[in-house]
Amino acid sequence: MTTAYTSLLSELTTTVRTARVHAIQQVNRSLILMYWELGRKIVESQTEHGWGAGVIDRISRDLRAEFPQEKGLSPRNLRDMRKLYLTYKAFPNMRHTVAKLPWGHNILLLRKGFTQDKRVFYLEKSFKHGWARAILDYHIDAQLYERSILEAPSNNFKDTLPENLIDQANEAIKSSYNLEFLGIEEEIKERELEDRLMDRIRDFILELGYGFTFVGRQYRVTVGDSDFWVDLLFYHRQLQCLVAIDLKVKKFIPEYAGKMNFYLEVLDDTMKLPHENPSIGMILCKEKNDVIVEYSLKSNTRPLGVATYRLFEELPPEMKSKLPTPEQLREQLALEEE
């Protein structure tokens, strides 16, 4: 009875939790659609009667008097509702898209002044991956949109993965990663980079993206009587596969691909479960030449991507030329001390 009861309790718990999530989503949807309608009616009435911006304050005051327990009827919120409608009114389907996300997410995107494509990109990503507002804000600051459209993927997924996994893998394994959160401003060794990433593993997983679960560092794989070590090993829940990451503080060279191909073969033979998909490798290096990467991946039989990382924001050359050199700064400090 214990096993049967435990199974029943698990099913009942899942049912309750699922129902709660659906209820919350429905409440949010109704709220956002109400905000849309309020914004629409305010815009249309202002247009019809020639009312100025001052009418918003009056509407807010009267609505709050009528509904004293209702939150979200402040003048600022009403202006955001108006902006919501004006921003998306030319795109009828967007009414239902914005209703999938909390009001805080919508406000964040409305106030950024993004292009329509950029705003929709973050709306869809937020809903698909269930981002909290802070996570959405992080990806905006990390310029996820710009990186996704400007950087072509450097991988061989098209030739090595089942067709149903190619798009998912391209989305999961990016072409570049922003590691500025590590606070590194000078050249470092690979082990130090690995140590810093482990100290900030939560931030690193956040930068990797949705679905990554950390398995281990310097993960040992044994072949015959020899041991080999994978720098970082993750499991991707949506792809249902292991993801091995090799850290390199130098420019990509073809030998890195051969080494990773070896790791992936061993992982698939010794760790991959029957229901899981082929393991994926990522070589995370300081810089790369796309032509060399392309030739290096052509002969590899395992799914492999090459990505670069950024430790700090470099100034454009035109700005660098305007900054004083260290010698000039020292001279200036010496003059000030005299």
Task: State the pLDDT at residue 149.
Answer: 80
Torsion-angle region of residue 190: left (phi > 0), alpha (psi -120 to 50) or beta? alpha
Cα–Cα dist 112/102, whole Å: 16
Task: State the pLDDT at residue 315.
Answer: 44
Task: State the pLDDT at residue 148.
Answer: 80
Residue 236 CB neighbour total at 10 angstroms: 22
Q: Can you tell me the mean pLDDT for 265-283?
A: 95
SS3 213: strand
End-to-end CA distance of the chain: 88
Q: Can you tell me the mean pLDDT for 79-93?
A: 93
Q: What is the pLDDT of residues 194-241, one digit of tens each?
A: 999 999 999 999 999 889 999 999 999 999 889 999 999 999 999 999
Q: Which residue, among 311, 228, 312, 307, has the nearest Cα to 271 in the 3D structure?
A: 228
Task: State the pLDDT at residue 3.
Answer: 82
Q: What is the pLDDT of residues 233-258, one digit of tens each?
A: 999 999 999 999 999 999 999 999 99
Fold of 154-314: Trna Endonuclease; Chain: A, domain 1 (3.40.1350)
Q: What is the pLDDT of residues 42-54, one digit of tens each?
A: 999 999 999 999 9
Tell me the pLDDT of the chain averaged across its residues.
89
For the record, the structure tokens of 84 come out as: 């919501």
Question: 82 pLDDT exceeds 60?
Answer: yes
SS3 135: helix
Q: Where are the domains of the chain?
A: 2-147, 154-314
Cα–Cα dist 102/261, whole Å: 43
Contact (CB, 8 A) for 34 and 77: no
Question: 338 pLDDT exceeds 90?
Answer: no
Cα–Cα dist 113/328, whole Å: 40
Cα–Cα dist 41/52, whole Å: 14
- The residues pairing with 230 across neighbouring beta strands, listed in sequence order, are 219
CA distances (Å), 76 to each of 57, 58, 83, 114, 200, in order? 9, 12, 10, 20, 37
Go through 133-148 and write b for each residue having 16 or more CB atoms within 10 A of its CB, e for each that does not.
eeebbbbbebebbeee
Q: What is the pLDDT of residues 116-146, one digit of tens each?
A: 999 999 999 999 888 999 989 989 988 889 8
Task: State the pLDDT at residue 150.
Answer: 75
Q: What is the pLDDT of residues 309-328, one digit of tens each?
A: 988 765 445 544 555 555 65
Q: What's this model's pTM, rounded to 2 decimal places?
A: 0.68
Residue 193 CB neighbour total at 10 angstroms: 21
